Structure 1
Amino acid sequence: MKPRTRPTLARRLVSGLATLVVLGTVVVANRPMVAVASEALHTYKINRQSYKERYGHWANLPVPRDFRVNAIHAALLHTGKVLIIAGSGNNKDSFEAGSFRSVLYDPAADSFTEIDTPTDVFCAGHAFLPDGKLLVAGGTKSYEVLEDEVDHAAGVMKIKNESPDGGPHVLEKGTRLVSATGHVYRTRDKVTVPTARKMTHGTTTTVHAGEVEVWVDAVEKGDAAVVGQPAQYSLEGLTGPNLYGVSEKITREKQEYGGDKTSYEFDPVTEKYVKTGNLQDPRWYPTLIGLNGGDVLAVSGLDQFGRILPGRNERYLTAERRWVKAPELKRYFPTYPSLHMMGDGKVFYSGANAGYGPDDKGRTPGLWDVRNNRFQQVPGLREPDKNETASSVLLPPAQEQKVMMFGGGGVGESEHSTARTDIVDLDEKSPRYRPGPDLPKPARYLSTVLLPDDSVLTTGGSSGYRGGKYRDQTRSDLFNAQIYRPDRNVFETAAESTVGRNYHSEAILLPDGRVITMGSDPLYDPTGKNAGTFEQRIEVYSPPYLFRGTRPAITGGPAAVSRGTTATFTTPDAARIASARLVRPSSVTHVTDTDQRSVALGLHRTVGGVDVTVPEKAGLAPSGWYMLFLVDDKGVPSAARWVQVR
């Protein structure tokens, strides 16, 4: 009798695959065996250790039904929890019902918590404050109304008061104004018309009318009340010239989203929104960016009537928790401009943006000196007509002062997109963009995440507008992911995701080194024939470094460090630590993230620990909370330790 031998590894793998195929065929009897076999082979392939070491691994995150929300915004708090903000979630029914949502996800406990959300912060702006609170400002005051849904002519009307006497006039909601032709219009909101102001210049006294703007709607349906030119209106039942309305036009055109004035600080410790002073201007789709010194600048956005703000920016005085106008920093940007704080305190506008505004205004990249409002244009960006829905990131480490632009598409609902990446070195005397490696496919809405090993994960996106048709594709979501290596200027292929992510999607680095991805608001379902639904599934990506051996550990150290100083952190793995990075947590929406950065620390290994030195420049390491990662000689990072930079 022949001796029994163990089957070879290859034979065992083939046998295992055959078993998977048989089981799959039994379970899914109506599906072709080839398809089941293919899926079994793919599942086996992506779960091999050698595959994960090279490409990483994706996993679905189970989300309890009661905590599934439309992720419009997301931010990693210094408690390690992820704040997922939906507001009304791009759902008009939720808006009208006053149903606004935020959820906290705790990766350490794998738990979710509902957060009371006082107003509709859908499409607000946000940025971290030095103490770790998240400033959230603006949002939605009114939803868009498409042209075919506009039954009553409507428009913005200025109510003027030419009398300097008698005080302000309060007009209740529904106040009626009458045109010269007898058509009647009603105000949508209660407003107060200021008193006129007397101004004396020498012997001449002039009166400047007080005025306030308000939406008005025609009482009657149809086109009869449409007015296509400037006109004056009288208040019904009021005689005399002192109080009247004027409007440029009243139409049945599409009505855009209206911005809100509310502002909050979200406290990670109490896990509550805390009201601050209101914005000076309502803002929908604004960008917020922290400045040296701790204040925050708010730029762009649509006002309460859906008009893009014409360069009126404002400053949040953090110590006083109030907003003030900043006329000295008047500068026009399209909505959600992608801004990056540079080492010298200047703000770089990469050219990436998320949408509203004319295609010939405010779209040129440049360095903005927020001390004197000077703007130095930066040339060289290829395909500048495709900067909308592009992504940009301050490449790691921040000391290199290089910004990279990824993909993008044409203005508005354009079907055009690009695989372009361009890179600019802002330390050059005359900086200009230069070509980087192309993406594998044209991509809009691409998420970019800084990893602690000085690489950049790019994931998600679509080639078409909101995942819609692109060339011969019915749906254009992209599942390929790449890791960009700045030191070699190349993309490396990463494992493919399983969930499409386009408009309204986010990706964030977690303290354990993984990346969480969420959101997506496609126009169509996977067939391309029916309306899409918001993607509420969440995926988590584990980069290759998590499969390459034992991770170093940080066992102790200070909770706070000062710029320009050295601090000691204990680790049993000091001998193999090759680098230390402070990674600022992300606060992202519409692929716009002004917080994300990775700062290299000076490193000296000691017995049982490492000494790390923080850069002196506030523009390199703005005050706030960071994740400290120690990375070994194989590129494997520790789990993060939270450290506050002061």
Structure 2
Amino acid sequence: MDSLHTFSASGTHTWGKHFGSLVVVIAFTILQVNGQGSWKLLSDNVGIASMHTAVTHYGSVIMLDRTNIGPSNITLPKGRCRNNPDDLMLKHDCYAHSVEFWPKSGRVRPLFIWSDTWCSSGQFGADGTLVQTGGDYTGISAIRRFVPCAESDGKCDWKEDKAKMYEHRWYASNQLLPDGTFIVVGGRAQFTLEFVPPKSGNATYLPLLEETNDFQADNMYPFVHLLPDGNLFIFANRDSIIYDYKKNLTLRKLPRIPGTPRSYPSAGSSVMLPLQAGDGFSRVEILICGGAQLGAWAHPERKLSAANDCGRMVVTDPDPEWIMEKMPIRRNMGDMVLLPNHHTLIINGAKRGSQGWGFAEDPALHPVEYDPYGTPGYRFTIMNPTFIPRLYHSTANLLPDGSVLLAGSNTHQFYTFNDTYNTELRVEQFLPEYLSSDYDYLRPVITESPKSVGHGENFTITVTIPSRPLFENQIELVLLSSPFTTHSYSQGQRMLNLGVEEPILLDADSGSYSYQITGRSPPSGNVAPAAYYMLFAVNYHVPGEAVWLQIVA
């Protein structure tokens, strides 16, 4: 149901099964709660509409639009310009199409990007470098790198590799692998994958991508998740496989998800739910929510209603099945963000239409928080709304303080400020309920921690609780990656709940409590590829601000 004027705490349960593909379908009256979470405007104008967003381990946010869009709202410094005879709009372009934004200070720094990053992919490497792949026109096979630096430095910028990828990669997905390289999967009219840096003499054919290429090409930006056994879960359209990329072998074909297409341009979203040390990081569950109706992209004038369901599947089960749950708000183009309290935030998007310029309307202004471990029928909670529509080309990224940064939205081919849904240059921050001052008495503060740790190693941190002792067995250490977010999918997003020994009380003076906590890092690069992660201490579901921890191979 889409009406948000009344709320009900009652729930009725309806179950159904059809045994052909052993799919359990659950329809519920959803618990709806108003008044949770809050919003803050971080910037009135960062100069560009961020189509692609990623948070560096220095705490800055790298934002990217496309280059062949004409003037942005911010110029390059000191008269620097891009002279590119192949640019479609400005051969002599003195505008920035990428910026670095610092959420705490509000500083915006223009960056120089050469080739076109339109609908590209990316991810952070082991040393914190943002590796960016593909795009369109001049950038369709490009490889770019951004090495982050401190705000006081302010000299880091984009660089382009001389080497190119084998294939054109427009609307492809990128996944960091355990050996520190990247796999780039699919793209428009591409049924192949390849590695960066190259691992073979050519791209590799992946049948799934051709098999899922319907009349809308709903196989773009496939959902790719690295599994703890070192294989990949790859999802396109409505189908998915377990894939051994080392042997180029499809190990399993998984059941088809019910309902609508879920990948671009139908624009559902996907996360791998948190991996748990308690089961040896062996149980893997995928959650996919929302999407556009089949035909919504091909017939945008119809403004068809978006999907109102989520599917979750334990892909490590011997006989996996999709469990379907009804969302309280229809949504396509939504972003899914893993939160340190183990919930998933579903935010941004529209209730009708699909991805594309002007193809959607009726913005989904209310975020929804999903508790994967809650009682069935009561897992969704509706949050307080924003007043800024975030539609096509918008993003959502977790920040180290536990809030979520919202950027972008441009439903037009060029920057447009006199239409129903204007090009959006504002940046917002959504603060989940756990950041309310009501929970400050529980909030852990990490005062000492290591900068780096190897796989399978014990490490200690010091945590201070402001006003009361730890609840017994309620302290958690959580690792969250920093993904590359674009087109409703956060590439490389993963969360790990680490093994923790019983905390040791160090001090209880001045009304605060200081503890030494020993955790154990993930056992291998399959579970957590070497990279920078946000390390959160979570006390009774309330996180403190994260510190950056580098997992080294």
Select between 578-587 and 373-382 the one with higher mean Cα deviation. Answer: 373-382
Equivalent position to 1:314, from 190, 194, 203: 194
State the 1:628 CA deviation: 0.3
Cα shift readout 1:269-298 (whole Å, capped 9, x = no counterpart): 252222222111222111111122111111
* Structure 2 residue 159 is the aligned partner of structure 1 residue 274: yes
State the 1:386 CA deviation: 5.2
Contact in 1 for aligned 2:357/2:392 (Cα 8 Å): no
Q: Which residue of 2 aligns with 1:294?
A: 180
State the 1:458 CA deviation: 0.8
* Structure 2 residue 169 is the aligned partner of structure 1 residue 283: yes
Contact in 1 for aligned 2:290/2:307 (Cα 8 Å): yes
Relative to the length of structure 1, the TM-score reads 0.65
Select between 606-615 and 461-470 the one with higher mean Cα deviation. Answer: 461-470
State the 1:627 CA deviation: 0.4
SS in structure 1 of the partner of residue 435 of structure 2: helix
Residues 468/313 of structure 1: CA separation in 2 closer, same or farther (3 Å cut): closer
Contact in 2 for aligned 1:101/1:117 (Cα 8 Å): yes
Q: Which residue of 1 aligns with 2:246?
A: 371
Contact in 1 for aligned 2:42/2:103 (Cα 8 Å): no
Cα shift readout 1:551-589 (whole Å, capped 9, x = no counterpart): 211011210011111100112238356111001012111
Q: Which residue of 2 aligns with 1:419?
A: 308
Equivalent position to 2:476, from 579, 587, 604: 579
Q: Which residue of 2 aligns with 1:536?
A: 425
Equivalent position to 1:70, from 28, 49, 62: 49
* Structure 2 residue 440 is the aligned partner of structure 1 residue 564: no
Q: Which residue of 2 aligns with 1:606?
A: 504
Tell me, in whole angstroms, the C-alpha distance in 2 between the residues paired with 1:382 and 1:88. Answer: 38
Q: Which residue of 2 aligns with 1:382?
A: 258
Tell me, in whole angstroms, the C-alpha distance in 2 between the residues paired with 1:467 and 1:563. Answer: 40
Q: Which residue of 2 aligns with 1:347?
A: 232
Contact in 1 for aligned 2:351/2:362 (Cα 8 Å): yes
Greater RCO structure (CA 8 Å; 6+ sep) = 2
- Structure 2 residue identity aligned to 1:499: I
Q: Which residue of 1 aligns with 2:9?
A: none
Q: Which residue of 2 aligns with 1:204?
A: none
* Structure 2 residue 546 is the aligned partner of structure 1 residue 640: yes
Unaligned runs of 5+ in 1: 1-37, 39-51, 143-258, 303-307, 353-362
State the 1:467 CA deviation: 7.9
Tell me, in whole angstroms, the C-alpha distance in 2 between the residues paired with 1:444 and 1:433. Answer: 19
Q: Which residue of 1 aligns with 2:408?
A: 519
Tell me, in whole angstroms, the C-alpha distance in 2 between the residues paired with 1:326 and 1:602. Answer: 41
State the 1:324 CA deviation: 4.8
State the 1:332 CA deviation: 4.8
Greater helix share, structure number: 1
Q: Which residue of 2 aligns with 1:405?
A: 288
State the 1:351 CA deviation: 3.4
State the 1:80 CA deviation: 0.7
Tell me, in whole angstroms, the C-alpha distance in 1 between the residues paired with 2:131 and 2:208. Answer: 22
Contact in 2 for aligned 1:523/1:531 (Cα 8 Å): no
Tell me, in whole angstroms, the C-alpha distance in 2 between the residues paired with 1:78 and 1:62. Answer: 21
State the 1:365 CA deviation: 1.5
Contact in 1 for aligned 2:174/2:183 (Cα 8 Å): yes
Contact in 1 for aligned 2:225/2:233 (Cα 8 Å): yes
SS in structure 1 of the partner of residue 434 of structure 2: helix
State the 1:591 CA deviation: 1.2
Contact in 1 for aligned 2:42/2:106 (Cα 8 Å): no
Relative to the length of structure 2, the TM-score reads 0.76
Q: Specify the structure having the higher radius of gyration (Cα).
A: 1
Residues 323/123 of structure 1: CA separation in 2 closer, same or farther (3 Å cut): farther
Equivalent position to 2:390, from 482, 489, 501: 501
Contact in 2 for aligned 1:467/1:524 (Cα 8 Å): no
Contact in 2 for aligned 1:469/1:475 (Cα 8 Å): no
Q: Which residue of 2 aligns with 1:79?
A: 58
SS in structure 1 of the partner of residue 382 of structure 2: strand
Q: Which residue of 2 aligns with 1:597?
A: 494
- Structure 2 residue identity aligned to 1:622: P
SS in structure 1 of the partner of residue 243 of structure 2: strand
Contact in 1 for aligned 2:446/2:537 (Cα 8 Å): yes
- Structure 2 residue identity aligned to 1:290: L
Residues 386/587 of structure 1: CA separation in 2 closer, same or farther (3 Å cut): closer
- Structure 1 residue identity aligned to 2:289: F
Q: Which residue of 2 aligns with 1:41?
A: none
Tell me, in whole angstroms, the C-alpha distance in 1 between the residues paired with 2:526 and 2:205. Answer: 19
- Structure 2 residue identity aligned to 1:522: T
Cα shift readout 1:285-335 (whole Å, capped 9, x = no counterpart): 111111221111112124xxxxx12x2321113xxxx57545555445222
Cα shift readout 1:593-644 (whole Å, capped 9, x = no counterpart): 22111101111212331001112132221110000000112x2111010000
Q: Percent identity?
A: 24
Contact in 2 for aligned 1:54/1:544 (Cα 8 Å): no
Equivalent position to 2:350, from 440, 462, 476: 462
Residues 139/327 of structure 1: CA separation in 2 closer, same or farther (3 Å cut): closer
Equivalent position to 2:145, from 250, 265, 276: 265
Residues 373/512 of structure 1: CA separation in 2 closer, same or farther (3 Å cut): same
Cα shift readout 1:510-537 (whole Å, capped 9, x = no counterpart): 0111111111122699xxx957532222
Match runs of 1:214-293 below 5 Å: 260-269=140-149, 271-276=156-161, 277-293=163-179
